[in-house]
Structure 1
Amino acid sequence: MAELSPDELNQIASVFKELNVKPKADSAQDFKQWMTQYVTQMNEEEFVNVKTEQQTEIVKSAASGSNTSSYIPKISCFSGDGSKNDTTYDLWRYEVDCLIKEKYKEESIAQSIRRSLRGDAGKVAMRLGSGATVTQILDKMESVFGTIERGETIMEQFYSARQQKDEDSMSWSCRLEEIYRKAVIKGVATQADANEKLRSKFWNGLHQWIKDITGYKFDALTNFDELRKEIRLVEKEHVTKRAQSNMAVTSSEPETQDEIKELKGMIQQLTTKVSAIEQGTVVQDIIKDITANMSMAMVTKNLIYKRPKMDNQYAIDANNLAI
């Protein structure tokens, strides 16, 4: 092992003096143990100082109302190709707007946007270059994927919209809200008027049978969300009752089918007998059969009058039959 020169020993002594520490050097083992403890202590103090600085920065950020954290928030992926697993542009833009409102760093938001873009949308941002600002990226995305309908056209859609035949009240209300949201973005409607306009249009556009039984609720409830909740409840109760009614009808079908089969058998027998008459067969046996079946005909009378009358292809006048 190389020995230390007097200059090197003096240099080590100077360092300890600057650090204002006095090492324990009674023996080589004592000095090694002291060095280990000293380094560990220095690391702990450094960690505490860094943590304290970070906490101070967080407190300052909260006091100023800004989010200066270097954390890169994650938002939904958007490609613009309309695939099943792809989020819509409106939803993607909403998430970005939330980050801006929460006052994340410009660099963090820009990085989040770039990481979320795929396919054609990613190429749109790429063509702007790596130095593009958040505003530049959003303006470009809006021009490519944003709503292009005129505000007047959107309001026409709003006022002419109606609940579709197979559309439930929840889907109808959400579709109406989406139209109005686009109108607000275009500046032809205001968020302040949203409650009353949505409430009125929602109820007026409902199926007539729902309006017939919920008129009092429309008059009593002035909040759009509360009215929607009540309409959904009425609609659910109606659907449940209709399902129960259908189940009751279905349960009686087997008995009805047996009755129909029996009636068809009787008609087939009469048709066969009439055919025998037309072929010159003795009618005495026929008259006896008809007499025997009179009681059966009386049993099926109630069933026959409930169904549409059947065409009688053969008319038999008993007064004209000769025995």
Structure 2
Amino acid sequence: MDRDNKTQLIKVLDEMGLAPKCKDPEEFKEWMSSYLQEQGGSADVKPRTESKEHHIVTQQARLPPFSGDPSAKQEPSYDLWRYEVECLCRDSTITEEMLAQIIHRSLRGNAGLVAMRLGSGAAISELLTQLDSNYGVVEDQEALMGKFYNASQGDSEDVTSWGCRLEDLLVKATRTEPLSMTKRNHMLHSRIWKGLRSALKERSAAKFELCPGYEDFKVELRKMESEMAIEQKSTIKTATSKMACSDTCNEDPRYEKLEGMIKQLTAEVRNMKSRDGEVKKSGFGNHLIVHGHRPLYWLGRKTARCGCASTSGR
């Protein structure tokens, strides 16, 4: 109550000739009750309370759609869908009737036909058994473990995808006999390194010994993978720049002219060396050879050009 209301209340009581004597709210309520009884009114004086409506909005749990069609790209695998069903089974706020409704709404295609054939009143356990027989893992434990130990990283597969694939294989292989967390991490730590591509495997050999934990080692592998990707991009960029420079030089006419001059000089030098070699073989390596004319003999012989007599007959 603000100050104006208090002033108004005092003014009304004064006009009515009332002067309540009270020290606290409880005494004032007692006085008011007795006054109302005297006036023939109701003796129940209840303080006004503001009622607040609380609207609780609950969102019903949902499952992703599942049809059992391997070609459906927007649907999860059956293992993932089955895992989400198990999570809902552990939720105490979801009743069995609600869970059955959620499962039926998520099934599509052939998977929905499996549920339809069982009927709407089938138990959840019976429905899940039918779905497991149609879409669950059928390989035995030994075959799955063989896949786990023989798996290797794909050419276009990053470390994260490679690790997830290994973990999925190990979970399937140990579904009936779950492993301890320590043994699981040890097996994954060993296999994720042994199955790496050769370049990353060689680079991470030291980290494999220094990081015995699977998760920590996977983080180090991702760092190295990122570094290698940056280095590869830098190498490709350098090679592209060199190729571009080479193409530019080839297109420049000055470069072609210079290249022709170099080829001409190379041919002339080669011809000079060839003629020099022929002279040496003929025994006149110490005499002058004029290009396009017969060789000049020593002074004692007659030449065709100067007509000098030979001195050898004297």
- Cα deviation per residue 1:164-192 (whole Å; 9 max; x = unaligned)? 222222211111111111112243x5253
How far apart are the structure 1 equivalents of 2:74 and 2:153?
A: 27
The verdict on how the C-alpha distance between 1:317 and 1:97 changes in structure 2, with shifts beyond 3 A counting, is same
How far apart are the structure 1 equivalents of 2:176 and 2:268?
A: 74
How far apart are the structure 2 equivalents of 1:108 and 1:222?
A: 45
| Corresponding letter in the other structure for 1:216 | A
Question: Which residue number corresponds to residue 63 of structure 2?
Answer: 75
Task: State whether residues 121 and 141 of structure 1, in contact with CA within 8 Å, keep that contact through their aligned partners in structure 2.
Answer: yes
Question: Which residue number corresponds to residue 84 of structure 2?
Answer: 95
Question: Which residue number corresponds to residue 59 of structure 1?
Answer: none
The verdict on how the C-alpha distance between 1:178 and 1:263 changes in structure 2, with shifts beyond 3 A counting, is farther
C-alpha deviation, 1:256, in angstroms: 1.8
Structure 1 position 160 matched with structure 2 position 150 = yes
Question: Which residue number corresponds to residue 180 of structure 1?
Answer: 170
- Helix, strand or coil at the partner of 1:84: coil
How far apart are the structure 2 equivalents of 1:122 and 1:263?
A: 76
- Cα deviation per residue 1:52-89 (whole Å; 9 max; x = unaligned)? xxx9xxxxxxxxxxxxxx97421111011121222221
- Helix, strand or coil at the partner of 1:162: coil
How far apart are the structure 2 equivalents of 1:253 and 1:204?
A: 38
How far apart are the structure 2 equivalents of 1:259 and 1:73?
A: 67
Based on CA coordinates, which of the two structures has the bigger radius of gyration? 2
Structure 1 position 131 matched with structure 2 position 121 = yes
C-alpha deviation, 1:156, in angstroms: 0.3
- Give the TM-score of the pair, scaled to structure 2: 0.62
For 1:121, which of 96, 111, 124 is the aligned residue?
111
- Cα deviation per residue 1:97-147 (whole Å; 9 max; x = unaligned)? 001122321111111100100111000011111111111111110000011
Task: State whether residues 176 and 202 of structure 1, in contact with CA within 8 Å, keep that contact through their aligned partners in structure 2.
Answer: yes
Structure 1 position 149 matched with structure 2 position 120 = no
Aligned residues: 225
- Give the unaligned 5+ runs of structure 2: 1-49, 279-289, 293-314
- Helix, strand or coil at the partner of 1:185: coil
| Corresponding letter in the other structure for 1:93 | R
TM-align CA RMSD? 3.8
Written as runs of structure 1 = structure 2, the 5 A alignment for 1:22-33 is: none
Task: State whether residues 76 and 116 of structure 1, in contact with CA within 8 Å, keep that contact through their aligned partners in structure 2.
Answer: yes
- Cα deviation per residue 1:225-249 (whole Å; 9 max; x = unaligned)? 1111110111101110110121112
Written as runs of structure 1 = structure 2, the 5 A alignment for 1:11-26 is: none
| Corresponding letter in the other structure for 2:125 | T
How far apart are the structure 1 equivalents of 2:159 and 2:265?
A: 56
C-alpha deviation, 1:203, in angstroms: 1.1
Q: Which has the higher helix share?
A: 1
| Corresponding letter in the other structure for 2:75 | D
Written as runs of structure 1 = structure 2, the 5 A alignment for 1:1-323 is: 72-82=60-70, 83-103=72-92, 104-187=94-177, 190-192=179-181, 193-259=183-249, 293-294=264-265, 318-319=274-275, 323=292
C-alpha deviation, 1:215, in angstroms: 2.1
Q: Using the aligned pairs only, state the percent identity.
A: 33
The verdict on how the C-alpha distance between 1:194 and 1:297 changes in structure 2, with shifts beyond 3 A counting, is farther
Question: Which residue number corresponds to residue 41 of structure 1?
Answer: none
- Cα deviation per residue 1:196-226 (whole Å; 9 max; x = unaligned)? 1111111111122222222222222232111
| Corresponding letter in the other structure for 1:293 | Q
| Corresponding letter in the other structure for 2:101 | Q
